[in-house]
Structure 1
Amino acid sequence: MDRQSYNELDQIYRRYAEGLYYYLLHLSSSPSLSEELVQETFYRATISLSRFKHQEVKPWLYKIARNTYIDEWRRRKRWKWVPFFERKEMVSPYGTPEVEMVHKENIQELEEILQLLPENYRTIIYLREYAGFSYEDIQEAMDLSEGQVKITLFRARKRMKELSKRWRG
């Protein structure tokens, strides 16, 4: 790899690694696994650079990250791996403890509801709502048509609402 390619890869890593980490953390609920998957994503991206067709880098990397996550999930499922949630307590310097507790419970409830969704629903909601992907970027990242993106996003949101209603009881 020449110096220019190395510099380009370094810039891409610096620009997208954090976003990929949070995306993978959202899918896996494990900080350590997310770090490993980010490394694996960039490893696979480096290997497949020759097949990269100068498309948008961000959706391409998220597609690789999603496939990396799915491969890891399948591998662990074979070994009947049961994920555990690593939760670190964070104390907010703002607001009252009561407000912070309600906020924390709402976030936890949302995370738990999201974990009940199928992977493709979690991914599409994350890409659209958290990562701010356009429909076009989601199409590329998930290998879907524009219609499939809209339908899947609609169904994912609908399913999430249903689960939320049941959750609250």
Structure 2
Amino acid sequence: MKKQRKDDLETVYLAYAKPLYFYLLKLTGSDSIAEELVQETFYRATLSLDLYDGRQVKSWLYKVARNTYMDEWRKRKRWKWVPLYDYLSNSEEYVSPYGVPEEDLLNQEKSGEIQDISLLLPENYRTILYLREYEEFSYEEIAETLEITLDQVKVTIHRARQRFKQLADRLGKDFDRSGKDGME
């Protein structure tokens, strides 16, 4: 591998490995699977780097990550086992040395509730809300990443937010319109 290409790949990895991990963690609900999928994403990105046409790296990598997730999901579905949520990862205790511990606990609880509700959404709704609310993608970046039109992005975000609110209402939870209150 040429030195320039290796340096470029390393720069991209350092910039996007952590955000991709959190994206895949939200999709899978499992730390270990998210880690594996990040590695697979960069492996696939490395293999297809020559085919990459120079669009925005961020959108391209998220597209590769989503495709990697979908492949893994299909493979696990074939074996009738899909880890929708890793309850053990939420059993860890988080105590902040700053602020009021009760507030931290309430924020964690709200974040967990948001994640629980998000896991009830169809994959396309989870993905589009994650990209918009967590990663703060523009509508144009979402359209490019998911390979859909700008109008489809707007409609899908609207429907995903409505569905999220319906589920939250049904479960007796109260979040603002975007669901960002407790999102990390």
Q: TM-score range by the shorter chain?
A: over 0.9
In 2, Cα distance between the equivalents of 1:100 and 1:134? 30
Q: In the alignment, which residue of structure 1 is the partner of 2:39?
A: 39
Give 1:91 deviation, angstroms: 1.4
**Residue 102 of structure 1: how far off its partner (Å):** 2.0
Shift of 1:14: 0.6
- Which of 133, 154, 161 is the aligned partner of 1:157? 161
Give the distance between the partners of 2:125 and 2:112, measured in 1 at CA: 18
Alignment correspondent of 1:140: 144
Take 2:139 and 2:26, find their aligned partners in 1: how far apart are those partners? 20
Deviation at 1:96, TM superposition (A): 3.1
Provide Cα deviations, 1:31-71, integer angstroms capped at 9, x if missing partner.
Answer: 11111100000111111112111000000000000010011
**Equivalence for 1:94:** 98
What is the distance in 1 between the residues matched to 2:108 and 2:39? 30
The superposition leaves residues 113-139 of structure 1 with CA deviations (integer Å, 9 ceiling, x where unpaired) of: 000000110000000000010111101
In the alignment, the residues of structure 2 paired with residue 33 and residue 54 of structure 1 have an alpha-carbon distance, to the nearest angstrom, of 29
Deviation at 1:89, TM superposition (A): 2.1
In structure 2, C-alpha distance between the alignment counterparts of 1:94 and 1:77, rounded to whole Å: 43
Residue 95 of structure 1: how far off its partner (Å): 3.2
* Corresponding residue of 2:114: 110
CA distance in 2, matches of 1:44, 1:34: 15
* Partners of 1:10 and 1:96 in 2: CA distance: 39
Farther off after superposition, 9-18 or 77-86: 77-86
Q: What is the TM-score with the length of structure 1 in the denominator?
A: 0.95
Displacement of 1:168 in angstroms is: 0.6
Task: State whether residues 139 and 153 of structure 2, in contact with CA within 8 Å, keep that contact through their aligned partners in structure 1.
Answer: yes
Give the Cα separation in 1 of the matches to 2:149 and 2:34: 28
Q: Partners of 2:93 and 2:68 in 1: how far apart?
A: 28
Which residue number in structure 1 is paired with residue 50 of structure 2? 50
Deviates more, 1:43-52 or 1:96-105: 96-105
Query: SS where residue 51 of structure 1 aligns?
Result: coil
CA–CA distance in 1 between the matches of 2:156 and 2:71? Answer: 22
Ranges in structure 1 where 5+ consecutive residues have no aligned partner: none
For this pair of structures, how many residues does the alignment match? 169
Where do 5+ consecutive residues of structure 2 fail to align?
Answer: 174-184
Whose helix proportion is higher, 1 or 2? 1
3-state DSSP of counterpart to 1:63:
helix
CA RMSD of aligned residues (A): 1.2
| Percent identity of paired positions between Structure 1 and Structure 2 | 55
Q: Quick one: distance in 2 between partners of 1:63 and 1:142?
A: 6
Q: Which amino acid aligns with 2:136?
A: G
* CA shift for structure 1 position 93: 2.0
